[in-house]
Structures are given as structure tokens and as C-alpha cells.
Amino acid sequence: MAINKHLSINTLNVNGLNAPIKRHRVADWIKKAKPSIFCLQETHLRIKGTYRLKVRGWEKIFRANVQDKTAGIAILLSDKIGFKTKTIKKCKEGHYLMVKGSIQEEDITIVNIYAPNIGAPRYIQQILTDIKGEIDGNTIVVGDFNTPLTPMDRSSRQKTNKATEILKDTIEKLDLIDIFRTLHPKKSEFTFFSSAHGAFSRIDHIVGHKANLNKFKSIEIISSIFSDHYGMKLEINHRKRNEKKPTTWRLNNMLLKN
């Protein structure tokens, strides 16, 4: 298998996957986008319906589902990246899933979160606190946080509350960064429209370790026609730390002189 110099991670709240036609559309969307890793939230799949989600080329799928048609998350990994699984942790309520493994001998930890509508900042803050021993330079946290992290993440520019500030402080203490806001400090783009509040917000996030900031090539919000959320896509330069960049050999002109 060829060495991958590049990884892409997509995340999307799919707002339910029980309808066969929707699962088919999502599978087609994934195959066209060709991400290395795809994280889904709010799949609404029951435990007994876990294996209804299938995507050719992404055979390795990790899931956290519940008995009723609520919550539910999944992490799909492309066959092309040669992911080797080490550890899996998940909650019974289908809101949190962590997969640790390696891609071509380099460790990676993917944390997928679907935060509840009520108490979302506190919920995420508690998860990050509980797994802080698992977080390192190769950790990526994605998902529907149900929380705008800055006033720029709301069309109303409403200030963040105390619970969100505590969450942001926890993120900072773990040396994590909001990758979109770091790469686009002045851009206002949104992933969700609340009809109840008549406002747009960016509540879907990808958070990474600041030590890998130079590896985060690009991040963007991507449209979706089958969900009430937009997704996010992160491009990563996946070069191993001890791997040298290719150099061009040049003849030393001094060797041609007498």
C-alpha cells in the first residue's frame, strides 16, 4: 500500500439514517467526497439496526447506538488508509465515541461527539476532562457540539455564556484549538439554522492539537442537501515526524573546476 501524505476528515450531523433512501444518498455522498475519515452524528439507528449503515470502500465502521431512534454516532474509515485499531470507548447513550489507532505506524485518536441540546457546553467539557489522559498531539475532536464557541459563530453576534467560556478554557488547557476559527479568525460561516430563534450558528466543530497546526492544510464548511446541518472538512498533511521532505540533487559546480 502506498504511503498517504494526505488525510481528510469530514464530519456531519445527518439528522437520521433510518430511511433506506437516505442511507443510500449518504453513502453516495461519502463515496464522492472520498474522505479518509468520516464522522456522523445523530444517525438515529437502533442497536439492532447498527449494520444498516454500509459504504463500499469504508468497511471499517465504529458505532455508538441506543435502543430508541435518538442520538447515535459513527466513525467510518477508508480502506485506503490502512487504519489499525487499538482502543474503542463509547457511551451507552450514543453521544460519544473515541477510536484510537494508527495509520501507517503513526498514532491517531478520533473523538466524535453529539452533544445534547440542553447543557451541551458542560457535557463536552466533562468528556474532555474525563479523557484528558488520552489526548495528545495526534488527537482530533469533531462533532455537533450544539454550541457556538465565539460570538462570530452566531449571526446575532450574541456573547457566549459562562458555561461556554468554561468549555473554551478547558479546550485551551488541553492545548487544543478550534481549527476553523484559528485558520479563519475573521470569517463568519455557519453550519445550522435555528427556525425557533431565526438565527444561523456554527455549532459543528473540528478541534485539534495546537502542536499540529502546521499540518492543518485547510478547513471548510461543506453543503448538504439531505440534512438540516452543513458539514465540515479538514485537510491534513500526514507526513511522519521523522520523514524527510524530498530534495532535488544538484551537481556541485566546484567539482568541475581544476
CB atoms near residue 211 (< 10 Å): 14
| 114 labelled catalytic | yes
The three-class DSSP label of residue 125 is helix
Of 153, 229, 230, 238, which is the active-site residue? 229
| 205 labelled catalytic | no
13 belongs to an annotated ligand binding site: yes
Q: Compute φ and ψ for 91, nearest 5 degrees.
A: -100, 155
Longest dimension (CA), the chain: 84
229 belongs to an annotated ligand binding site: yes
144 belongs to an annotated ligand binding site: yes
Strand residue runs (E) in 115-172: 139-144
Of 95, 96, 123, 144, which is the active-site residue? 144
Of 96, 114, 123, 230, which is the active-site residue? 114
Cα(10)–Cα(28) distance, rounded to whole angstroms? 14
Which residues contact residue 6 at a Cβ distance below 8 angstroms, ignoring those fewer than 6 apart? 36, 217, 235, 236, 237, 238
59 belongs to an annotated ligand binding site: no
Cα(203)–Cα(98) distance, rounded to whole angstroms? 20
Give residue 189's identity as a one-letter amino acid code. E
146 belongs to an annotated ligand binding site: yes
First and final CA of the chain: distance in angstroms?
48
Residue showing cell 455537533? 144
CB atoms near residue 194 (< 10 Å): 13
Dihedral over Cα of 147, 152, 154, 158: its sign: positive
184 belongs to an annotated ligand binding site: no
**Residue 104 near residue 75, CB atoms below 8 Å:** no
Residue ranges of the annotated binding site for Mg(2+) are: 13, 42, 144, 146, 228-229
Catalytic residues: 114, 144, 229
Residue ranges of the annotated binding site are: 13, 42, 144, 146, 228-229
